[in-house]
Amino acid sequence: MRAVEKLAMRDACAQVLVDCFDEVPGLVVLDADVSKSTRSAEFARAHPERFLNVGIAEQNMVSIAAGLAAAGMVPVVNTFSMLLSMRALDQIRQSVAYPKLNVKLMGHYGGYSAGPEGPTHHAVEDLGIIRSIPHTTLLVPCDATEARGAIRAALAFDGPVYVRLCRNPVPPVLAEPRPFEIGRGYEVRSGGDLTIVATGVMVARGLEAAEILASRGLDARVVAMSSLKPIDGAILEKAARETGAIVTAEEHNVYGGLGSAVAEVLVETVPVPMVRVGIKDCFAESGDYFELMDRYGLSVGDVVVAAERVLERKMRG
Amino acid sequence: MSYSEELIASLDAQAKLNRRAVMEMIAAAKTGHPGGGLSAVEILTVLYFHCMRVDPERPQWEDRDRFVLSKGHGAAALYAALGARGFFPKEAFHRFRQTGGILQGHPDMRKIPGVDMTTGSLGQGLSAAVGMALAARFQARDFRVYALLGDGEIQEGQIWEAAMAAAHFRVENLTAILDYNRVQLDGNVADIMGVEPVAKKWCAFGWEVVDCPDGHSVRQVLEAIEVARQVRGRPAIVIASTVKGKGVSFMEHQSSWHGVSDAARLPEAVEEVSRL
């Protein structure tokens, strides 16, 4: 497996919020009693006067943020993604998305990254839920470096943005920071036989799978789709046209997330054989983060098998 | 506090016009929430025609006082006040709740000049009002935030999260007003899910409680809101006893008129409030 970077997305998140304090005059950071876990406590240390801990009350936190934004502030809300996208879902829909308020929603501990806490704390539905709400922008950075860029882009954007972050340090994808563009995917590996479209932590796993496939003489392109909504239709159509086969890989239920989003684009433009790698509509169990990913269908091997299956279908025509 | 007879008379007259506008809007649309709109007419009239620092020419003025209709279904009463105050042409009343109109079934801050917060899903507005009040603190502005709550609405758990937070953050530029009409969609509040002792609850949550025994007396509403405005170091709530469906004999106290239960009787209701 690729080496794991030292910095986790949550640490990157706290750093970028501290760094942006002077650039974003209305910045105010909120948390609901998990500031040590989300690292928003780092921001609280640096700027206590602009930090609100609302206690264990996620719904109240999101609606307070909506009120702050309605009065011209730029609130950044932090809590676990399963609480944010589900406990406070109605507040996100009614008080933030519908009135297009400038609230930034940091969904920490995305996917299985709450690991040993168990299925109650895993978030494998958040992307599908948030994506289906009008007016939302949904970003899923692939590593800590990109998380910085994604959060900066979210702050520069006027409107509701949900950023799904991973708890753990993960293998780095980007050697150098690249400017984060909302609505744009990008190639992290070129290739002509098939395309692996991945999001979040699965980008690194997609790259590993591509290396294995290369050793078998198969040339896989890897596209990082860190902007899940709006999604980059052009890069998908190009990939479908040029490689004729698509594998999607996401740390999310197979319903409603990246696989669905990619299929929605391609079925109406360039339909080609496609296989989705994702969680197979189940709740997992407590365990080590990376072990859970391997155990529930998100291993590098799962991506390789999906690639072989989709290539078979491509060959059959 | 003493208020001149002229002020009282002019607010009473305005409340009558607003009550009529509420009924006309609902009658034209044949849909809406007459009960909880009519119970809030005097409160909204007093706020928009006396208490609140607003400028209809500048609905986005940063230093304006804010109002959040947490009980969003009372929308017609808010629109009546805003339209009469000049935030938008009264012609908009004719397309209330209808396609192509700006006046949505529940308040929409992006479509309706003067609406400060989008509401509709009960329980969220008070939290948003707390956020606005905190924004004033962060921005060193002196605006005040008002939030109107329904008595059924306070059955929502989030109201009490917001109540706790407002007291914890010592928000003093926030006045909540409870439209205590004692009736909700399915029946009497006391039968569906009792909220008493309601004053003690707010008190226990750290709020100053101001009683307003008659929420249809503009003098009492004026006085209660002024008392609440003087409170320092914590938020205040005015508990205004009101009558659901106030002004229409066959709607008063009736849960059946939370919504429009019989569109055929709406012209009769308009007729009644026109005679007031």
Parallel/antiparallel/unpaired status of strands A51-53 and A186-189: unpaired
Is pLDDT above 70 for A108?
Answer: yes
Residue A1's pLDDT band, with cuts at 50, 70 and 90, is low
Give the per-residue pLDDT at A7: 87
Give the integer Cα–Cα distance in Å for A179 and A149: 6
Reported in sequence order, the residue ranges of chain B that DSSP labels E, i.e. its strands, are 66-69, 145-150, 174-180, 183-184, 187-188, 208-212, 236-241
- Cβ-based neighbour number of residue A241 at 10 Å: 11
| Cα nearest neighbour of B121 on chain A | A94
Select from A15, A122, A35, A137 the least CA-distant residue to A78: A35
Each domain of chain A, given as residue ranges in start order, spans 9-164, 186-316
Tell me which of A83, A94, A101, A158 to substitute to probe the interface with B (most B C-beta atoms closer than 10 Å): A94
Chain A hits for B157, CB-CB cut-off 8 Å, are 59
| Cα nearest neighbour of B65 on chain A | A71
Report which residue type is found at B34. P
Q: What is the CATH number of domain A9-164?
A: 3.40.50.970
Q: What is the CATH number of domain A186-316?
A: 3.40.50.920
What are the Cα distances from residue B199, in Å, to B70, B86, B91? 19, 35, 40
The residue-averaged pLDDT of A18-34 equals 98
Which of A1-10, A81-90, A184-193, B142-151 shows the lowest mean pLDDT across its residues?
A1-10
* Average pLDDT of chain A to the nearest whole number: 97
Residue A175's pLDDT band, with cuts at 50, 70 and 90, is confident
**Measured between CB atoms, does A98 come within 8 Å of chain B?**
yes
Residue A207's pLDDT band, with cuts at 50, 70 and 90, is very high
Tell me which of A28, A63, A100 to substitute to probe the interface with B (most B C-beta atoms closer than 10 Å): A63
* Coil, helix or strand at residue B264: helix
Is pLDDT above 70 for A218?
Answer: yes
CA distance, residue B148 to nearest chain A CA (Å): 15
Give the integer Cα–Cα distance in Å for A252 and A293: 10
* Average pLDDT of chain B to the nearest whole number: 98
Give phi and psi for B183, each to the nearest 5.
-135, 135
The residue-averaged pLDDT of B182-198 equals 98
Reported in sequence order, the residue ranges of chain A that DSSP labels E, i.e. its strands, are 27-31, 51-53, 74-80, 104-108, 137-139, 161-164, 186-189, 194-198, 220-224, 227-229, 246-253, 274-279
Give the integer Cα–Cα distance in Å for A317 and A311: 10
> pLDDT tens across A249-304, in order?
999 999 999 999 999 999 999 999 999 999 999 999 999 999 999 999 999 999 99
Give the integer Cα–Cα distance in Å for B118 and A230: 24
- Residue-range definition of the domain harbouring residue B39: 5-275
CB within 8 Å of B53: residues ≥ 6 apart? B63, B64, B65, B143, B144
Tell me which of A64, A93, A103 to substitute to probe the interface with B (most B C-beta atoms closer than 10 Å): A64
The residue-averaged pLDDT of A196-221 equals 98
Select from A169, A235, A164, A167 the least CA-distant residue to A200: A164
What are the Cα distances from residue A259, in Å, to A50, A200, B185? 39, 13, 43
CA distance, residue B138 to nearest chain A CA (Å): 8
- Cβ within 8 Å, pair B165-A28: no
- Cβ-based neighbour number of residue A86 at 10 Å: 16
Residue B199's pLDDT band, with cuts at 50, 70 and 90, is very high
Chain B hits for A158, CB-CB cut-off 8 Å, are none
Burial, B120: exposed, middle or buried (Cβ in 10 Å; 0-12, 13-18, 19+)? buried
CA distance, residue A266 to nearest chain B CA (Å): 34
Parallel/antiparallel/unpaired status of strands B187-188 and B208-212: unpaired
- DSSP string spanning A191-258? -SSEEEEE-TTHHHHHHHHHHHHHHTT--EEEEE--EEES--HHHHHHHHHHHS-EEEEEEEETTTSH
Which of A44-53, A167-176, B61-70, B73-82 shows the lowest mean pLDDT across its residues?
A167-176
pTM confidence score: 0.97
Number of domains in chain B: 1
Give the per-residue pLDDT at A2: 67
Q: Decide: B238 and B13 in contact? Cβ < 8 Å.
A: no
Residue A3's pLDDT band, with cuts at 50, 70 and 90, is confident
* Coil, helix or strand at residue B141: coil
Q: What is the CATH number of the domain that holds B270?
A: 3.40.50.970
Give the per-residue pLDDT at A317: 83
- Cβ-based neighbour number of residue A266 at 10 Å: 20
Give the per-residue pLDDT at B2: 87
What are the Cα distances from residue B190, in Å, to A315, B124, B198? 70, 22, 11
- Cβ within 8 Å, pair A99-B131: no
> pLDDT tens across B58-103, in order?
999 999 999 999 999 999 999 999 999 999 999 999 999 999 999 9
ipTM over 0.90: yes
Percent of chain B clearing pLDDT 70 (strictly above): 100
